[in-house]
């Protein structure tokens, strides 16, 4: 039977006093149908409202179109220099695009994948989405099926796509939570392709268009992602910003104007950065304590985590406590990374996270006589233990 033995209690001090009281005010009031603020590193949601309500995404749909383009480029199946011949279906004068945002591509002309990528992310061109969809999957319909498969793979449980651009369709729906996950995946999985979202303008066909994410020009910490609008969906904005090594992602859906969605996004981001911080509570491969190992060539193993662990905490919060405990008895062989106990992080007496404590070294089995002798000593210790 496992008997966890207390080994280490590590207080991690930062500027706040250990007796500090958390002074985090209520989140700002946001005029939108749904909104979300999450911490990129931990995935923790800091602010939420109706985040699982299914809503039309409008041009925020293009986050998935661009994600698939990035997947293809990074996998080597697609090059930014590849040439795409524009079809009549992708033509900017296609009647279904009338009155919507366009890159202004023309049928029969050649455009590169890199130009289409900018046309989607910066100009929000509905025509560009169809052109890249046809190039990647052969048809827009086949590409939409691919979008839905990626949605399933990324865990976007409430999302369903009917087109590549986000023009109104009653079955074309997503949630603030799913868009937050998709934005996080874009930044984490395709950092090079993510850079296109920060570009402030793009000129194609002698037409210069400015990025509709106005925060890019007003807040240097903001470096993406995408705006959206239809009369059905209202005004939406998925944005990300990084300050002092902390990255936040905000989602605003169903706001009532471009000015409103910008102000609401700014309020969410400022709130998160002002009142929260990332704190590394465990440094990877740093020992949190050691304990006896029986029947091994060495008699001690260090415990910790192979990878660092970061949490998000209020800036005025009391000091977190990290408690590492080893299972007893531990017997060789032990491989680096094996679970050898339990690690817990507490904040104000509440369990913040729990992970298996990992061995930081290999411990090989000892020879026959050492194993025999340790077995005898272990038996004696168990008999006479309280």
Residues 189 and 153 in one domain: yes
CATH of residue 213: 3.40.710.10
Residues 210 and 295 in one domain: no
Residues 207 and 297 in one domain: no
Confidence of residue 370 (pLDDT cuts 50, 70, 90): confident
Residues 101 and 214 in one domain: yes
Residues 245 and 325 in one domain: no
Residues 361 and 221 in one domain: no
**pLDDT at 52 exceeding the cut of 80:** yes
Domain count, the chain: 2
pLDDT of residue 97: 87
Q: Known catalytic residue: 62?
A: yes
CATH of residue 355: 2.60.410.10
Residues 229 and 311 in one domain: no
The whole-angstrom separation of Cα 293 and Cα 301 is 7
The angle that helices 176-189 and 62-74 make with each other, rounded to 10 degrees, is 20
- As beta bridge partners, residue 351 has 346
In a domain, 119, yes or no: yes
Residues 235 and 361 in one domain: no
**Span 184-219, pLDDT tens digits:** 999 999 999 999 999 999 999 899 999 999 999 999
Residues 317 and 196 in one domain: no
3-state SS, 47-75, equals EEECCCCCECCHHHHHHHHHHHHHHHHHC
Lowest mean pLDDT among 100-104, 161-165, 187-191, 231-235: 100-104
In a domain, 345, yes or no: yes
Structural domain including 356 reads: 5-17+281-384
Q: Known catalytic residue: 100?
A: no
- The catalytic residue among 66, 101, 123, 124 is 124
pLDDT of residue 22: 52
Look at the block and give the residue holding tokens 């046809």: 134
Mean pLDDT, range 52-59, rounded to an integer: 98
Q: Known catalytic residue: 109?
A: no
């Amino acid at each position: 039977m496992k008997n966890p033995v207390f080994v280490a209690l590590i207080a991690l001090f930062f500027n706040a006093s250990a007796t500090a009281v958390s002074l985090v005010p209520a989140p700002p009031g946001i005029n939108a149908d749904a909104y979300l603020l999450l911490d990129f590193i931990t995935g923790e949601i800091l602010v939420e409202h109706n985040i699982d309500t299914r809503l039309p995404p409008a041009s925020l749909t293009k986050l998935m179109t661009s994600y698939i383009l990035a997947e293809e480029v990074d996998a080597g199946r697609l090059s930014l220099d590849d040439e795409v011949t524009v079809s009549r279906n992708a033509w900017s004068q296609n009647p279904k695009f009338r009155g919507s945002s366009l890159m202004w591509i023309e049928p029969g002309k050649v455009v590169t994948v890199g130009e289409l990528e900018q046309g989607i992310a910066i100009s929000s061109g509905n025509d560009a989405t169809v052109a890249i969809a046809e190039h990647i999957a052969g048809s827009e319909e086949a590409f939409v099926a691919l979008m839905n498969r990626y949605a399933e793979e990324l865990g976007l449980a409430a999302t369903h796509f009917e087109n590549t651009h986000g023009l109104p369709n009653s079955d074309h729906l997503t949630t603030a939570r799913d868009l937050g996950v998709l934005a996080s995946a874009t930044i984490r999985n395709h950092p090079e392709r993510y850079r296109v979202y920060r570009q402030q303008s793009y000129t194609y066909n002698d037409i210069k268009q400015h990025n509709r994410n106005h925060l890019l020009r007003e807040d240097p910490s903001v470096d993406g992602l995408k705006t959206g609008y239809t009369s059905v969906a209202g005004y939406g904005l998925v944005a990300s910003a990084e300050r002092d090594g902390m990255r936040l992602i905000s989602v605003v859906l169903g706001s009532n104007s471009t000015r409103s969605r910008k102000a609401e996004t700014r309020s969410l981001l400022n709130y998160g950065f002002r009142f929260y911080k990332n704190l590394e509570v465990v440094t990877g491969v740093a020992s949190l304590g050691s304990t006896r190992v029986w029947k091994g060539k060495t008699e001690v193993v260090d415990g910790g985590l192979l990878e660092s662990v970061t949490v998000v905490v209020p800036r005025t919060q009391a000091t977190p406590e990290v408690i590492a405990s080893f299972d007893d008895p531990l017997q060789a062989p032990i491989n680096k990374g094996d679970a050898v106990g339990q690690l817990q992080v507490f904040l104000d007496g509440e369990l913040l996270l729990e992970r298996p404590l990992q061995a930081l070294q290999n411990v090989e089995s000892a020879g026959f006589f050492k194993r025999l002798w340790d077995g005898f000593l272990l038996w004696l210790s168990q008999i006479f233990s309280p």
